[in-house]
Structure 1
Amino acid sequence: MRIDVLSLFPNMFTPMRESIIGKTIERGLVDFQVTDFRDYTDNKHNKVDDEIYGGGQGMLLMPQPIFDAMDAIEAEAGSRGRVILMDPAGKTFNQAMAEELAQEEHLTFIAGHYEGYDERIRNLVTDEISLGDFVLTGGELGAMVVIDATVRLLDEALGDQMSAVDDSFSTGLLEYPQYTRPADFRGMKVPDVLMSGHHANIATWKRKEALRRTYLRRPDLLTDYDFTKEERQLLKEIKAEEANEI
């Protein structure tokens, strides 16, 4: 996968070369490029923003530097790829979107700053993505989050690819509780079933606890969840157990 980012602050992306993402770059799974689109301005003062026509607060990013930077990426890579604009007005990012983006060969992110974008910049864009109903000072942090969530899903990115399969949201549920040694830590014990070696019982426990955690913390995720017959019975048990806890 090739990933391009257009940003006025390329050094912000240095941490992307660490940890799992850094390893994917080192191993050639990802070609990661950050372009400072200020380098493409034709303004003699290197300006990339200007006042808003019709009045308004703040400054808008001008289209020319971003269009020219995008042309340069296309000339080098052969395509612009799927172009993602980080914008609070975009579609809220989730795990399903990460899984979709992970199937692409080329992603290009536009990380803006200031008051926003000249509307004509959206003509370059295939997707507008937001992290949620809040506003950041720029699109860099949002782009990093989307890139991280996407790259870790690539084949061979994780040591055990099943790690991504069991992640929260990948199954439609939050992830079940997990434990490691010691089996008894300050009186807090690992559930016996996890040390039983009985794979079927362990699988049922994991499914039930994933349902329990989702029911208690994010019941909204269950609204459109496609329950199996076994899961409906497990949820019934969970509701009865939780009612008795109150």
Structure 2
Amino acid sequence: MSPPYPVELLTLFPGMVSGYLGASILGKAQEKGLLCATVTDIREFAEGKHRVTDDAPYGGGAGMVMKPEPLVAAIEVARARLPGAKVLLMSPRGQTFTQPRARELALHAAGLILVCGRYEGVDERVMGSLDGELSLGDFVLTGGEIAALAVVDAVARLVPGVLGNVASSVSESFEEGMLEHPQYTRPPVFREAEVPAVLQSGDHARIARWRRWKSLMLTRERRPDLFARLELSKADQKLLARREEDL
């Protein structure tokens, strides 16, 4: 059995992330020895009675900036604990996190150290201790904790054995560069809305064809940017030309 995939979160608010990491699939992955998640309180590396981790920005301006001393110290200890791990700061100016990036990180067996920024940002001198910055998208959060948890969740579920059902991890949105088809479960009729007959037909070839058609159509309608990048096969092109009732 392979060693657990190691991940460490550096944060000023460990209570914000510990609960999520210990629940549901991530919690079960740790119980099975597939994932090892550690949460480190950056304040433990701050000096003085009050463990101050922020200060006013040079040059003036609103808000506070995270100090370099405690943050760099926390990073260095984490690096010593996880040699070779990628150290990434969750930051709006970082590289956008995508499914291919999640796969790349999941293959990095040495693991992942995620730094959760706070306040107006992090002292620029911390950047020399990082391997890069990572962003969830073009919006701003009050801190990096939510973003870091999203990254851990996306990466951990790609670690072999974490999901259990391998098939589910390769048929979801973005795995093939397009959106996933709609899903249904019982009852067959809910408030007059019926499950499509094709899904109740038992015809697996027809079901697969319908699901592919739905994925292509949804991607074209809702994410034209993704659709424009798809390399459509001849079968896909023929499928798009058909009507749902003719599938």
Q: Indicate the SS of the match to 1:149.
A: helix
Matched, 1:71 2:76: yes
Q: Which one-letter code corresponds to 2:97 in the other structure?
A: F
Matches within 5 A, 1:9-158: 9-13=13-17, 14-77=19-82, 79=83, 81-105=85-109, 106-158=111-163
Structure 2 unaligned segments of length 5 or more: list them: none
Matched, 1:230 2:240: no
Q: Is the 8 A contact 1:93 1:129 kept in 2?
A: yes
**CA offset digits 1:87-138 (Å, max 9, x no partner):** 0111222222212211122100000111101111111222311112211111
Matches within 5 A, 1:177-192: 177-192=182-197
Of the three residues 6, 11, 28, the one matched with 2:10 is 6
Query: Judging changes above 3 Å, is the alpha-carbon distance between structure 1 residues 66 and 187 closer, same or farther for their aligned structure 2 residues?
Result: same
Q: Indicate the SS of the match to 2:241.
A: helix
What is the alpha-carbon distance in structure 2 between the residues aligned to residue 68 and residue 51 of structure 1? Answer: 20
What is the alpha-carbon distance in structure 1 between the residues aligned to residue 191 and residue 70 of structure 2? Answer: 59
TM-score by length of structure 1 reads: 0.91
Q: Indicate the SS of the match to 2:114.
A: strand
Q: CA deviation at 1:73?
A: 1.8
Q: Is the 8 A contact 2:94 2:133 kept in 1?
A: yes
Matches within 5 A, 1:187-202: 187-202=192-207
Q: CA deviation at 1:159?
A: 2.7
Q: CA deviation at 1:51?
A: 1.8
Q: Is the 8 A contact 2:95 2:134 kept in 1?
A: yes
What is the alpha-carbon distance in structure 2 between the residues aligned to residue 235 and residue 131 of structure 1? Answer: 31
RMSD: 1.6
**CA offset digits 1:180-203 (Å, max 9, x no partner):** 223333433222222333222221
What is the alpha-carbon distance in structure 1 between the residues aligned to residue 142 and residue 131 of structure 2? Answer: 23
Query: Judging changes above 3 Å, is the alpha-carbon distance between structure 1 residues 58 and 200 closer, same or farther for their aligned structure 2 residues?
Result: same
Q: Which one-letter code corresponds to 2:32 in the other structure?
A: R
TM-score by length of structure 2 reads: 0.90
Structure 1 unaligned segments of length 5 or more: list them: 242-246
What is the alpha-carbon distance in structure 2 between the residues aligned to residue 204 and residue 125 of structure 1? Answer: 46
Q: CA deviation at 1:75?
A: 2.6
- Farther off after superposition, 177-186 or 59-68: 177-186
What is the alpha-carbon distance in structure 1 between the residues aligned to residue 65 and residue 191 of structure 2? Answer: 57
Residue in 1 aligned with 2:211? 206
